[in-house]
Amino acid sequence: MMAKIVLLNYLRAIVILAVMLLGCSKSVAIQKSEHASRDRQAKPEEAKPLLAGDRFFQNQDVKQFSLRFSKSDADLLQQDHRPYIRADFSNGTESLYSVGAKLKGAAGSYQLLDGKPGFTIKFDKFRKKQTLDQLDKIHLNNSVQDGTYLCEWLGSEVFRLADYPAPRVAHALLKWNERIESMYVVREAFDKTFLRRFFSNCDGNLYDGGFLQDLDADLEKDSGFGVDDRSDLRDIVSALKHNDAQMRYREMENRIDLDKFITFMALERMLCHWDGYSVNANNYRLYIQPDTGLAIFFPHGMDQLLGDPNMPLFDFPSSHVASQVMGNDKWRSRYRAKVKELLPLFDPPEKLIRRTDQIANVLRETFKELGDDPLQQFNEQVEDLKHRISERANAIKEQLSQEEPQPISLAAGESIALNDWYPACDHEGMAIHPKEDQTPPCLQLAITTEPGYASWRHHLILKRGTYRVEGRYRTEQIEPIDELTVESIGIGNSRVERWSKPGRDEEWQTFSDTFTIVEDRFPVELIVGVRAKKGLMQIDRDSFRLSRVD
């Protein structure tokens, strides 16, 4: 009996000990879990590794730069071929010696040393592997065309919000030699460092669009291990000019990343980047991706954004690729859909205005140190920019709400009268006006005081097909500008304008011009004009007709 009691007490003790141990284990586990939870809350997610320039382009303050170079190198800087000279560079905390420096800028922004010059700084030009925050090169833009100093940043911000490759932007006070400090816009360079942020393979050809050059120009190759004879560019141009529209569109899709281009084009035009590729065939870079062979465009020179908040979104631009997009019904629909998709970047405008204010406040602290006048001018310009952002958001919505303009539809053999002519001329020394009191009623061009070119024009949007325009004109005492331009009468359209010598004075001449539209739709400007030292031309207003001949 005593043995049983001892055994029971022993078992009871084991159970109590097990319960105690289990409780302690749970308590420790709970404490560990609580500690782990607190640790997770205290420690942020593992940060992504910093890439080249990430610290440099944080936009938390205005940087302090100095640039020093010798008098002899200053003279070299101003030579036409824009050579690199040796200079010493400092950002306040780090000094770099023998960096490459040269003047930069194009029409409107390029200034010599007696003005406010822009600079390109290449840190490793003369000392290999020398970098600043792993950056090989930066641009210091003088922003003489942008009193806000914000447009370049704003454009880059919008592109990057749309997840589109664009260079980063910061701001700095620059003092070069003994000059007074001035505000500059600091922009990331288009180079392999830039490409590595967006592409796994950055060995493709990178081309500089240059000044007012489309893809059929001899574009400068900045980098890449692709072909050296520009045959990759010529392949794109051949596709753009193919006579068969459907073949043209297929070849374009094989050469250009159309999805990316439509996004690029939508953003440029929504930002009113009138001096970019989509509108003006200017300010762009082109990268041929080595893995796919497809070309992608990068935005550049965005220092004049939103100048006209009502700038059209759906007209036909002159640049080759953009005009083809707008002339292809399917691509045009995709473009309109992309504009609608990107609208939230602009509307409501308060989001973009608030972000603009944040950067403006950073700059404002520096402008306070530069004096009352610079600060006042900056504040006025920023308020105007914010107002234009709001206006642009409203204009985009308004244009999206409007119906697409429809091209003129003519059956084979059908014709229409051409009545809506408007004048265009080189200068005011020309008399261009209707002559309703004459039989037949005429549209008259008279060159009287100085040589030039004057014309009457008629704008149409036409579907694919072959067309003929016909009409009558007469001339009086046309005197050619010189012996090389005796062909003074120009008749045709905005694609092909044909020139000829004047007929016999005061006799009515009949002309006929035939042309073909290969796109789904395309704008055509019919032209009847004269270039001369002096003389008169009249066109029979009621005689002009357009007919479809296929």
Render pLDDT for 284-313 as a digit per residue (tens, 0 to 9): 999 999 999 999 999 999 999 999 999 999
Render pLDDT for 330-370 as a digit per residue (tens, 0 to 9): 999 999 999 999 999 999 999 999 999 999 999 999 999 98
Instruction: Give yes or no for residue 26 having a pLDDT over 60.
Output: no
Q: Which pLDDT score is estimated for 15?
A: 43
Q: Which pLDDT score is estimated for 101?
A: 97
- Please check whether residue 11 lies inside any domain of the structure: no
Render pLDDT for 195-209 as a digit per residue (tens, 0 to 9): 999 999 999 999 999
- Please check whether residue 211 lies inside any domain of the structure: no
Contacts of 532 (CB under 8 A, 6+ apart): 447, 451, 478, 479, 480, 481, 488
Of residues 15 and 399, more confidently modeled: 399
Q: Which pLDDT band, with edges at 50, 70 and 90, does 27 fall under?
A: very low
Which range has the worst mean pLDDT, 31-35, 224-228, 398-402?
Answer: 31-35
- Please check whether residue 48 lies inside any domain of the structure: no
Answer whether 342's CB lies under 8 Å from 335's CB: no
Instruction: Give yes or no for residue 178 having a pLDDT over 80.
Output: yes
Q: 178 in the Ramachandran plot: left (φ > 0), alpha (ψ -120 to 50) or beta?
A: alpha
Q: Which pLDDT band, with edges at 50, 70 and 90, does 46 fall under?
A: low
Q: Which pLDDT score is estimated for 49?
A: 75
Q: Calculate mean pLDDT across residues 188-193.
A: 96
Q: Which pLDDT score is estimated for 433?
A: 83
Q: Which pLDDT score is estimated for 449?
A: 83
Q: Which of 139, 160, 192 is the last residue of a domain?
A: 192
Render pLDDT for 453-471 as a digit per residue (tens, 0 to 9): 999 999 999 999 999 999 9
Question: Residues of the chain with pLDDT > 90: what percent?
Answer: 75
Instruction: Give yes or no for residue 25 having a pLDDT over 60.
Output: no
Q: Which pLDDT score is estimated for 22?
A: 45
Collapsing DSSP states into helix, strand and coil, what is residue 327?
helix
Q: Which of 136, 165, 192 is the last residue of a domain?
A: 192
Domain CATH for 419: 2.60.120.260
Contacts of 193 (CB under 8 A, 6+ apart): 52, 53, 134, 135, 136, 137
Strands (E), 400-508: 415-417, 422-425, 430-435, 442-447, 452-479, 489-493, 497-500
Q: How far apart are alpha carbons 256 and 249 in whole angstroms? A: 10
Host domain of residue 122: 63-192
Collapsing DSSP states into helix, strand and coil, what is residue 543?
helix
Q: Which single residue is written with the structure tokens 């400090």?
A: 181
Q: Calculate mean pLDDT across residues 374-391.
A: 97
Q: Which single residue is written with the structure tokens 């043995």?
A: 3
Render pLDDT for 411-451 as a digit per residue (tens, 0 to 9): 999 999 998 999 998 887 788 888 877 788 889 989 888 89
Highest mean pLDDT, choosing among 47-56, 261-270, 452-461: 261-270
DSSP H stretches of helix in 271-371: 277-280, 320-327, 329-342, 350-370
Average pLDDT over the chain, rounded to an integer: 90
Burial of 518 (0-12, 13-18, 19+ CB in 10 A): middle
- Please check whether residue 361 lies inside any domain of the structure: no
Rg of the chain over all Cα atoms, to the nearest angstrom: 33
- Please check whether residue 258 lies inside any domain of the structure: no
- Please check whether residue 400 lies inside any domain of the structure: no
Of residues 345 and 23, more confidently modeled: 345
User: Total structural domains in the chain?
Assistant: 2
Q: Which of 192, 212, 231 is the last residue of a domain?
A: 192
- Please check whether residue 271 lies inside any domain of the structure: no
